[in-house]
A and B are shown apart, each in its own frame.
Chain A
Amino acid sequence: MNYAQHEHHEFVEASTEALADATLQTALVRLTDTLLAGNRRGYAALADSSELRDHAKAIKEHTLSHLDQYLEQLEASVHRLGGKVHWAATAEDARRIVVDIAKKANCKHAVKSKSMTSEEIHLNPALENAGIEVTETDFGEFIIQVAGERPSHLVAPAVHHTRESVARVLSKHLGEDLPDDPKSLAMVGRRVLREKFRRADLGITGANFAVAETGTVVLVTNEGNGRITTTAPRVHVAIMGIEKVIPRFRDLPVFLKLLARAATGQTLSVYTTMITGPRKTGELDGPDEFHLVLLDNGRTNILATPFRESLQCIRCGACLNACPVYRRIGGHAYGGVYSGPIGSILTPLYDSVPLNPHLPHASSLCGACQAACPVKINIPHMLIGLRELQHEYKPSRWEEWAYHLWSWALCQPWLYRWGMWAARLLMRWQAVDGWLSHLPGPGSEWTQVRDFPAPAAKSFRDLWKEMQT
């Protein structure tokens, strides 16, 4: 099994379905409006936030251009603390490494804090096959796990659910008749998950950042499940993509100041947990064993290309909330583990450019994603780059022919003028109140979902001529 589960072939069908789902539409508007407003408020409230974002980007640029050195330094730091570092070139390697750690330490009950990296490597089925019980402990992820689904947003994984559907899912799972108000449901979650935490012998987390200089792994959460996952079980395994390393401890607050503001507008998330090695002598809680799994899984392929900038992503979800396409179709339609504008770049690059033909086009290139991004990733630029790459993989004869014809026509001024005149006449004749609701041929795909504006009475060339006289 690879990065995506080949659901990406159905992008058009999946997004059409999403558009027709009234519940999802309400949920998406509510979520993205709230979070995007938070993002703008968050940046506005921070002194020179734009300069701080530039600074954060510069740290990431530097780190990625010295990545091998920082990974070695990170390894040395973690070893010095008594932890162990594992190198996973592929998703399969990572799954095997985590299962081996669990078996060697004789762990039977794993609790997980929300981690996109573990979603990416499809860790849960591998652990379950090895006889280890796995429980997602982020409340949203828990709902998703019980429902047998995938997360649909980076920071709000269960956004596609309503209170009624959550009550249904949890009632069935627990064999109880649960009320459908969010507070009671969350308290049921607390009760059930507390029992899991009490029994757990293995805690699995991702990492928002890892500091090369000190070996510190950083987890940012709002619920506190990340803290319990790294406090109660006797073994802690953190899985991180290699791009998450940052050089120094003093670089960390730069990102912490931006991450929560970009994601939700909070000044800081409720909990920032900085783990530096296993528990020390005399400490009463915290894990005895600390393992850090460094995952490549296609990242070095990106590192070597002009798409390297996409590795600066800190997974805040701000580009999703800002994107007019995500706001309509939600996360599942994208097919991959990462959705939204950044997912449209990562999925083709991690998985396959030719097998994901629609994703680079699932954008109006409006630039709202870049404006919301805490590290100002030039997402539109990279989407255009991917479109170019697609053409190299699979040139379309039809498209080539059409562009040849187009360039030939543009070189014949008389034909161009005549064509424009004819089109304008025809369209203005067909238009009602300045709008066309049916176009023939390929134009019909446009008018299926929205009207097309009729051309103006006079062309630019006509107006120009008038101005000259």
Chain B
Amino acid sequence: MTPRDTFLQRVKKAVSDGNRAGAAPKLPERCGVGYQGGGPDLLERFRQELANAGGKAYLAADRDGVVRTIQSIVQPLNARRILLSRGGLIDRLGLPNQLNEIGFNARTQNEIGPDAKEDFFAAEVGVTNVHRLIAETGTVVMAAQPDEPRSASLLPPVHIALAERSQILPDLFDLFDLFSPAANQTPSTPPSCLTLITGPSKTGDIELKLVTGVHGPGEVHVIVVGE
């Protein structure tokens, strides 16, 4: 027997020894328990919850609004190097060009190539699309893919996320329903890295004093595009 088989045999025996006669409980269904929802105004709920977690949400009507908002966030920081992911709203709004025109050093990973580690570590601001937003918790959901590297929302000290209003989900449970809509259905394979971000990086390791930005971004801004 391989070590694996011996291991599993031990588990199997322990399971049957420990199971009370004939009583191996069934996997329960949740049936709506714990569903909070996002209330009547998802954007407002998202804004409040993100604020509670230490982040900030903005509403921008169009491309100019988005550019102005980014400018207002980045200018006071004296930051120049902006790293953008690709696709989605970023492409549709032509953001890299827009930001370069107003004097920033804005680059997408198109320009930094596959050995991108140093650029990721050096960036001062990361601008990304989002997979979804969750109103209940003020959460930004990021899904890793070639257009959306993990580092862009992680390594720069400031993270700016762009979302459409239709991307807001009411409840955390709704996100998981996207992957497995029915209880007995095999779910679609999740992305290699699916991340829930709820506010800026936090630590309380010294005397419980809250400090933001110890590893991840110390600032999280979410710009929702729409009316």
Interface pair A194/B190, CB less than 8 Å apart: no
Interface pair B146/A284, CB less than 8 Å apart: yes
Q: From B213, which residue of chain A is reached at the shortest CB distance? A: A190
Interface assignment of A61: CB less than 8 Å from any CB of chain B = yes
Interface pair B192/A283, CB less than 8 Å apart: yes
Tell me how far the C-beta of B126 lies from the nearest C-beta in chain A, rounded to whole angstroms: 12
Residues of A within 8 A of B202 (CB): 222-223, 270
If A47-B35, A268-B137 touch, whether A286 touches B207 (CB-CB below 8 Å) is no
- B interface residues, how many (CB within 8 angstroms): 82
Binary per-residue interface labels of chain B (1-34) against chain A in the complex, 1 for a CB within 8 Å, 0 otherwise: 0011011101111110111000111111010011
Interface assignment of B74: CB less than 8 Å from any CB of chain A = no
Interface assignment of A216: CB less than 8 Å from any CB of chain B = yes
Tell me how far the C-beta of A164 lies from the nearest C-beta in chain B, rounded to whole angstroms: 10
Tell me how far the C-beta of B33 lies from the nearest C-beta in chain A, rounded to whole angstroms: 5
If A34-B208, A224-B215 touch, whether A248 touches B187 (CB-CB below 8 Å) is yes
Looking at B137, B150, B172, which has the most chain A CB atoms within 10 Å of its CB?
Answer: B150
Tell me how far the C-beta of B200 lies from the nearest C-beta in chain A, rounded to whole angstroms: 7
Interface assignment of B179: CB less than 8 Å from any CB of chain A = yes
Interface assignment of B151: CB less than 8 Å from any CB of chain A = yes
Stretch at the interface among A181-189, A332-340, A344-352: A181-189
Binary per-residue interface labels of chain B (92-123) against chain A in the complex, 1 for a CB within 8 Å, 0 otherwise: 00000000000000000100001011001100
Interface pair A250/B180, CB less than 8 Å apart: yes
Interface assignment of B189: CB less than 8 Å from any CB of chain A = yes
Residues of B within 8 A of A63 (CB): 27
Interface pair A30/B180, CB less than 8 Å apart: no
Residues of A within 8 A of B6 (CB): 89
If A62-B26, A283-B146 touch, whether A250 touches B177 (CB-CB below 8 Å) is yes
Alpha-carbon gap, A247 to B53, bound state (A): 30
Residues of B within 8 A of A257 (CB): 34, 172
Binary per-residue interface labels of chain B (138-174) against chain A in the complex, 1 for a CB within 8 Å, 0 otherwise: 1100001110011100110000000000000000110
Interface pair A270/B198, CB less than 8 Å apart: yes
Interface pair B192/A279, CB less than 8 Å apart: yes
Interface pair B216/A283, CB less than 8 Å apart: no
In A247-277, which residues have CB < 8 Å from any B CB? 247-250, 252-254, 256-257, 266-277
If A55-B33, A276-B189 touch, whether A89 touches B8 (CB-CB below 8 Å) is no
Alpha-carbon gap, A229 to B130, bound state (A): 22
Interface assignment of A163: CB less than 8 Å from any CB of chain B = yes
Interface assignment of B197: CB less than 8 Å from any CB of chain A = yes
If A48-B34, A182-B209, A282-B146 touch, whether A89 touches B24 (CB-CB below 8 Å) is no
Interface pair A139/B203, CB less than 8 Å apart: yes
Residues of A within 8 A of B49 (CB): 267
Stretch at the interface among A300-308, A354-362, A413-421, A451-459: A300-308
Interface pair A68/B186, CB less than 8 Å apart: no
Tell me how far the C-beta of B169 lies from the nearest C-beta in chain A, rounded to whole angstroms: 11
Interface assignment of B201: CB less than 8 Å from any CB of chain A = yes
Interface pair B145/A283, CB less than 8 Å apart: yes
Interface assignment of A25: CB less than 8 Å from any CB of chain B = no
If A189-B214, A283-B149 touch, whether A62 touches B186 (CB-CB below 8 Å) is no
Interface assignment of A387: CB less than 8 Å from any CB of chain B = no
Interface pair A285/B34, CB less than 8 Å apart: no
Interface assignment of A27: CB less than 8 Å from any CB of chain B = yes
Interface assignment of A66: CB less than 8 Å from any CB of chain B = yes
In B168-227, which residues have CB < 8 Å from any A CB? 172-173, 175-177, 179-180, 183, 186-187, 189-209, 211, 213-217
Interface assignment of B124: CB less than 8 Å from any CB of chain A = no
Interface pair B214/A271, CB less than 8 Å apart: no
Interface assignment of A140: CB less than 8 Å from any CB of chain B = yes
Stretch at the interface among A120-128, A153-161, A319-327, A425-433: A153-161
Alpha-carbon gap, A93 to B213, bound state (A): 37
Interface pair A276/B192, CB less than 8 Å apart: yes
Interface pair B203/A186, CB less than 8 Å apart: yes
Interface assignment of B71: CB less than 8 Å from any CB of chain A = no
Interface pair B15/A65, CB less than 8 Å apart: yes
Q: From B116, which residue of chain A is reached at the shortest CB distance? A: A284
Interface pair A30/B215, CB less than 8 Å apart: no
If A268-B196, A276-B192 touch, whether A303 touches B14 (CB-CB below 8 Å) is yes
Alpha-carbon gap, A282 to B110, bound state (A): 12
Tell me how far the C-beta of A167 lies from the nearest C-beta in chain B, rounded to whole angstroms: 9
Q: From A180, which residue of chain B is reached at the shortest CB distance? A: B206
Interface assignment of A87: CB less than 8 Å from any CB of chain B = yes
Tell me how far the C-beta of A469 lies from the nearest C-beta in chain B, rounded to whole angstroms: 52
Looking at A46, A65, A266, which has the most chain B CB atoms within 10 Å of its CB?
Answer: A65
Alpha-carbon gap, A252 to B187, bound state (A): 13
Alpha-carbon gap, A254 to B207, bound state (A): 31
If A68-B15, A273-B195, A284-B116 touch, whether A267 touches B136 (CB-CB below 8 Å) is yes
8 closest A-B pairs by beta carbon, nearest first, are A224-B216, A282-B146, A140-B205, A52-B34, A224-B215, A303-B14, A304-B17, A304-B14
Known pairs A140-B205, A250-B179. 8 more at Cβ < 8 A? A46-B36, A67-B15, A89-B7, A182-B207, A216-B194, A267-B136, A270-B216, A283-B146
**24 pairs from A and B in contact (CB 8 Å cutoff):** A47-B34, A48-B34, A62-B26, A65-B23, A81-B189, A93-B3, A143-B205, A143-B206, A186-B213, A213-B187, A228-B155, A230-B193, A231-B150, A247-B27, A250-B177, A250-B180, A256-B172, A279-B144, A284-B109, A284-B116, A286-B150, A296-B11, A303-B11, A304-B17
Chain B positions within 8 Å of A, measured between CB atoms, are 3-4, 6-8, 10-15, 17-19, 23-28, 30, 33-36, 49, 53, 109, 114, 116-117, 120-121, 136-139, 144-146, 149-151, 154-155, 172-173, 175-177, 179-180, 183, 186-187, 189-209, 211, 213-217
